[in-house]
Amino acid sequence: MSEDRTGEVATVRSARRPTVKDVAAAADVSWKTVSNVVNGTAPVRASTRERVQRAIDQLGYRPNAAGRNLRRGRSRLLALAIPEIRLAYFADLAHAVILAAKARGYTVLIDETFADPAHERVVAQGFQVDLLDGLIFSPQALSDRDLVAAGGRLPMVMLGEATLPLDGGEAAADHVVIDNVASAREATEHLIEAGRSRIGFLGVRETETNGTGVLRHTGYAMALQEHGLPAVAFPAPTYSRPGGAAAIGAVIERFTGPDALDALVCANDLLAIGAMHILRGAGLRVPQDVAVIGWDGTEDGNYSNPTLTTVAPDLGALAELAVDLALGRVDGSTASPQVHLVGHRLIVRESTGGALGG
Amino acid sequence: MSEDRTGEVATVRSARRPTVKDVAAAADVSWKTVSNVVNGTAPVRASTRERVQRAIDQLGYRPNAAGRNLRRGRSRLLALAIPEIRLAYFADLAHAVILAAKARGYTVLIDETFADPAHERVVAQGFQVDLLDGLIFSPQALSDRDLVAAGGRLPMVMLGEATLPLDGGEAAADHVVIDNVASAREATEHLIEAGRSRIGFLGVRETETNGTGVLRHTGYAMALQEHGLPAVAFPAPTYSRPGGAAAIGAVIERFTGPDALDALVCANDLLAIGAMHILRGAGLRVPQDVAVIGWDGTEDGNYSNPTLTTVAPDLGALAELAVDLALGRVDGSTASPQVHLVGHRLIVRESTGGALGG
DNA sequence: CGTGCGACTTCTAACGTTGAATACAGTGAT
DNA sequence: ATCACTGTATTCAACGTTAGAAGTCGCACG
């Protein structure tokens, strides 16, 4: 009850940050008792606990993370490495990962790799300084073998399969992905059922041999082949709106004339939106002249004009699984690395003939 | 030259993480020399440095952040607290902050507050655990006086003026903002020059008395008053696409009939896109029937249909200034808190009669 | 030949925290 | 009164790093 005269629970600010010892002195107990109060490590008499708590509030004490981490050997920090946060899909992903991590008492640190191989290598090694408990990685430039080879002791979970071995070989690290081939088949079947027959694909990249784009293209090609329809693929420089615009701008003549394409499967929503932008500029109507479909289920597509049909991954499940796998390895699990599939669903909207939607 | 037999620069992985002492043993030098090599603290002979470096690479040694931070009293971590990363503006902002921080040797940790007052208070106190060197905060629920009062010893920089005192009083913390009143006047003038006379505003919020939305509304109202035109404001539940859609959906009759509004100033791009979505659903054409303008300069607006006129803040400058201010206070500057303005520009696109654009 | 310098080592201490082991009451049973 | 016991509270040591001081060694230079 030795409140100071200014009354209330006044926060006292001093130059130096208070340590557990300052609190101990203020509460007239040993610093270990303060630690026990903070961490619930050992039983503390109610009256003592209150006294300590009051001192903590008064001094504005908060445990120092460096000291704690050093002692505990854990930082409760997880990094999420993605190509670029401005891409809506990765923002959605980051959001889901942040939530999943927070639910488990972890904090997320975001690293943008810009698909730079050198940077990805540094990330795989754990950021030059040993700070993290785990890493969730959405690589773009390097394969998972490269990364695991470069990699350090850090528990690492991969997202997307820029890195997935096509040959069915064992994964070098845990992966969490949607079934890209299957979803691409569904998406393409959807267009065929809607009566389209000259269906293009946008989003292969020269530099990739087994990435997401390649797998989606594979599913697309399988569906077309089953129906005896012709396939045609267009490369995209980047998986972005400008990338989609540039790619389609370069081949716009394929959408006019007698053999004009009447549908376009795009490797993601951004490419689709960039493509639609150019199609519109060329006087083509979506979906009347060209049906368009994308991936990722970003909110954009629900408000675009026309609204965009898309394959939406179950990001919540993906993030939770990724975080659990990473933290599992933090706690010493040594289960052999696996590829884990999470769900997806096709959301039909205007761009393939669906309704406006909400 | 005591390479092991497997040759090359093989990465050796052991159970325990190597420490500076392990490296020292491997390189046959004192641990102090290793430290000197890592930090460049003292001159080391080139040959020795190489030997140490080889040991570092071989063992995969990376300095332990906890130990280092504890000793140095710095973590080189900065937090960016924003309402939600999925909102494109905040993703753009995060990107800019991450870049600016990285250029200064800092890493960014992102916290989503969801505009929750309790959470914002915890953030202002520095996250329960003393981990950060500084905080860049885009508050939504609380005023800056609340936050500074709740706040701890952490250098804090505010973005946006959910918190800016209207009375011209001294700021309680550093702020970095664009001139919202002026930019709103420009935006509104732009519509007036384009011949619009019944101009609505979307994006006031009941709970705010001096936030961004309020300031933009102020500039809007000033411009209309100067031209003797009537003003009408619509509240928005959230600054999001669904928020904009819901808000305009509720007042859609104001856009039809004899007194129909012919322009809409929206407090941000997301509201504008949500609004355009509903207008389209109601059979109204943008810009022919209603001109629409937003804020933030997000990429969406450059690919929407129609493309969206917007006020784009200079995010690069904003982020750099914010980071510099935060780090300045880390290094002990005690300049009195100020409001710093950064530039903005009006980008005219289709939604107010401009061209399609790139 | 000593002096001075560069390169390195050794030693000490400290950052703030917490697990383990230990001390100390007070209580109740014997 | 003695002993064991339980509930509290304390002391000790260690996590990995780096700053500083002081000392060692060899070599070049005056």
Q: Do B184 and B242 belong to one domain?
A: yes
Q: Do A197 and A211 belong to one domain?
A: yes
Which residue, counting CA atoms, is nearest to the C1' of nucleotide D15? A71
Residue A71 CA, nucleotide D4 C1', distance (Å): 35
Least confident of A80-84, A146-150, A258-262, B225-229: A146-150
The upper half-sphere exposure of residue A15, i.e. CA atoms within 13 Å in the direction of its Cβ, equals 2
- Contact flag, residue A45 CB and nucleic strand C, below 7 A: no
* pLDDT score for B147: 80
Residue B193 CA, nucleotide C12 C1', distance (Å): 76
* pLDDT score for B2: 36
Q: How confident is the model at residue B209 (pLDDT cuts 50, 70, 90)?
A: low
* pLDDT score for B337: 86
**Chain A CB contacts of B11 below 8 Å:** 149
**Sequence-ordered list of residues with C-beta below 8 angstroms from that of B250, at least 6 positions apart, any chain:** B234
* pLDDT score for A46: 86
Q: What is the mean pLDDT of residues B38-49?
A: 88
CA distance A33 to A49: 9
Quick one: CA dihedral A215, A216, A221, A224, positive or negative? positive
Q: Do B137 and B99 belong to one domain?
A: yes
Q: What is the mean pLDDT of residues B257-265?
A: 94
Using the CA of B71, give the nucleotide whose C1' is nearest: C15
Interchain pair A95, B86: CB under 8 A: yes
Least confident of A93-107, A236-250, B344-358: B344-358
Q: What is the mean pLDDT of chain B?
A: 89
Q: Do B121 and B239 belong to one domain?
A: no
Tell whether A71 is covered by a domain. Answer: no
Q: Is the pLDDT of residue A4 over 60?
A: no
Chain D nucleotides close to protein (CB under 7 A) are 7-12, 14-21
- Contact flag, residue A30 CB and nucleic strand C, below 7 A: no
- Contact flag, residue A39 CB and nucleic strand C, below 7 A: yes
Q: How confident is the model at residue A5 (pLDDT cuts 50, 70, 90)?
A: very low
- Contact flag, residue A44 CB and nucleic strand D, below 7 A: yes
Q: From the CA of B95, how many Å to the nearest CA of chain A?
A: 6
* pLDDT score for A146: 79
Q: Do B241 and B162 belong to one domain?
A: no
Q: What is the mean pLDDT of residues B56-67?
A: 93
Q: Which tens digits make up the pLDDT trace of B110-164?
A: 999 998 999 998 888 878 899 999 999 998 888 777 787 776 788 999 998 755 5
Q: Which tens digits make up the pLDDT trace of B194-207?
A: 999 999 999 987 76
Last-in-domain residue among B32, B59, B86: B59
Residues pairing with B77 in the sheet: B107
- Contact flag, residue A153 CB and nucleic strand C, below 7 A: no
- Contact flag, residue A70 CB and nucleic strand D, below 7 A: yes
Which residue, counting CA atoms, is nearest to the C1' of nucleotide D7? A43
* pLDDT score for A181: 94
**Sequence-ordered list of residues with C-beta below 8 angstroms from that of A293, at least 6 positions apart, any chain:** A187, A190, A191, A263, A264, A265, A266, A272, A308, A309, A310, A311, A351, A352
- Contact flag, residue B45 CB and nucleic strand C, below 7 A: yes
Q: Which tens digits make up the pLDDT trace of A174-233?
A: 999 999 999 999 999 999 999 999 999 999 877 666 688 999 999 999 999 999 999 999
CA distance B184 to B206: 19
CATH number of the domain encompassing residue B40: 1.10.260.40
Tell whether A357 is covered by a domain. Answer: no
Which residue, counting CA atoms, is nearest to the C1' of nucleotide C14? B71
Tell whether A282 is covered by a domain. Answer: yes
* pLDDT score for A56: 92
Chain C nucleotides close to protein (CB under 7 A) are 6-11, 14-21
Q: What is the mean pLDDT of residues A101-128?
A: 91
Contact yes or no for A295/A183 (Cβ under 8 A): yes
Q: What is the mean pLDDT of chain A?
A: 88
Q: How confident is the model at residue B10 (pLDDT cuts 50, 70, 90)?
A: very low
Contact yes or no for A40/B40 (Cβ under 8 A): no
Q: How confident is the model at residue A162 (pLDDT cuts 50, 70, 90)?
A: low
* pLDDT score for A126: 79
Q: What is the mean pLDDT of residues A40-45?
A: 84
Query: What is the C-alpha R_g of chain B?
Result: 26
Q: Is the pLDDT of residue A334 over 80?
A: no
Which residue, counting CA atoms, is nearest to the C1' of nucleotide D10? A30
- Contact flag, residue B47 CB and nucleic strand C, below 7 A: yes
CA A320 vs CA A102, A157, A159, A323, A324: distances in Å? 11, 12, 12, 5, 6
Q: Do A269 and A200 belong to one domain?
A: yes
CA distance A212 to A177: 9
Mind giving me the DSSP string for A248-259? HHHTGGGGSSTT
Tell whether B161 is covered by a domain. Answer: yes
Q: Do B202 and B164 belong to one domain?
A: no
Q: How confident is the model at residue A347 (pLDDT cuts 50, 70, 90)?
A: very high
CA distance A348 to A306: 12
* pLDDT score for A356: 57
Interchain pair B280, A67: CB under 8 A: no
Select from B12, B85, B97 the residue whose CB has the most chain A CBs within 10 Å, as the one to mutate to test that interface.
B85
Q: Is the pLDDT of residue A12 over 70?
A: no
Tell whether B16 is covered by a domain. Answer: yes
Q: What is the mean pLDDT of residues A153-159?
A: 90
Tell whether A173 is covered by a domain. Answer: yes
Interchain pair B304, A302: CB under 8 A: no
Q: Do B225 and B307 belong to one domain?
A: yes
Tell whether B65 is covered by a domain. Answer: no
Q: What percentage of residues in chain A have a pLDDT greater than 90? A: 67
* pLDDT score for B1: 34
Q: Is the pLDDT of residue B5 over 80?
A: no
Q: Do B249 and B212 belong to one domain?
A: yes
**Chain A CB contacts of B68 below 8 Å:** 129
Nearest CB to B62; choose among A66, A129, A303:
A129
Using the CA of A52, give the nucleotide whose C1' is nearest: D9
Q: Is the pLDDT of residue B8 over 50?
A: no
Tell whether B287 is covered by a domain. Answer: yes
CA distance A49 to B200: 58
Q: From the CA of A31, how many Å to the nearest CA of chain B?
A: 17
Split into its structural domains, chain A has a count of: 3
Q: Do A196 and A265 belong to one domain?
A: yes
Last-in-domain residue among B59, B86, B101: B59
Q: What is the mean pLDDT of residues B52-70?
A: 93
Residue A235 CA, nucleotide D24 C1', distance (Å): 67
Q: What is the mean pLDDT of residues A332-347?
A: 89
* pLDDT score for A105: 93
Chain B residue with CA closest to A91: the answer is B86
Tokens at A67, concatenated: 């000291």
Q: Do A84 and A96 belong to one domain?
A: yes
CATH number of the domain encompassing residue A200: 3.40.50.2300
Q: Is the pLDDT of residue A269 over 90?
A: yes
Q: Do B111 and B17 belong to one domain?
A: no
Interchain pair A241, B299: CB under 8 A: yes
Q: Domain containing A262: what range?
A: 180-312+346-352
